[in-house]
Amino acid sequence: MESKKSANSTLSFSGQLARIVAGVFLLGLLSACGGGKTGSNIAVLDLDKLAEDTGYVQEIRGKITEMQDDLKSKLSAMEEQLNTQIKNKREEIGKNPSDKQKEEMAKIMKHARIQMQQARAQINNAMKKQSMSLVTQLHDLVRPIAREIAHKRGMSIILLSNDSVLLDYSADSDITTEVTQEVMKRKALPAEKADKENKAPADSAPAEVKPAESSNAG
């Protein structure tokens, strides 16, 4: 059940990547291009469409799914190990445990729950870091290209059509096609670079299972 929730959460996160980029992308472009001529035209970029057309969305979904499957496998192994510890302890204390043994068993089960919760949180954080790393790669790739194309057309400010601030704009202001073509020409999709530089970090795997401290059965 938890694995299914994790998968849905990850896919949902992937589907919102362009909107995540929009938030960090807008301020950077305004800062980089704001020094242009006063009264110059405003360029508009559809980052959602660019991400789809360049294959970036498909790339990141694939990378996230690959990482997710690996971490889910490690989590399942950890859960199985914890369940084995609990089963062995139950067999050790028998069918008629003393009050002290019952208390000890409760502590072991609580310890196991905490370990699983920590592992799931660790995995979620690792997934978010990986996704944001790929988002940053797209941002770093598109920003200078968009700025270059906008400047060639005499535009000093670039806005995202995905942003809620824009109500309407002229087709002449749209530089999405040109930027997309240039990105494709350079064949430098961020997901390819991230695949080499942003493998799952060592701390993304669930921590090693450690048995709960227990006192001698009385």
Which pLDDT tens digits describe the chain residue by residue (218 residues)?
Answer: 444 444 444 444 444 554 544 444 544 444 444 444 443 488 999 888 999 998 888 888 888 889 889 988 989 999 999 888 888 888 888 888 888 888 888 998 999 899 999 999 988 898 889 888 888 888 888 999 999 999 999 998 888 887 666 667 778 889 999 999 998 888 644 445 545 544 544 455 555 555 555 544 44
Phi, psi at 150, each rounded to 5°: -65, -45
- Residue 19's φ and ψ, nearest 5 degrees, are -70, -35
Q: How far apart are CA 218 and CA 87, in angstroms?
A: 19
Whether pTM exceeds 0.85:
no
Q: Provide the CA 91 distance to its chain's centre, in angstroms.
A: 42
Q: Cα-flanking dihedrals φ and ψ of residue 200, to 5°? A: -55, 125
Q: Where are the domains of the chain?
A: 2-199
Contact 174, 161 (CB under 8 A): yes
Cα–Cα distances in angstroms (integers) from residue 150 to residues 29, 40, 143, 158, in the given order: 11, 10, 11, 7
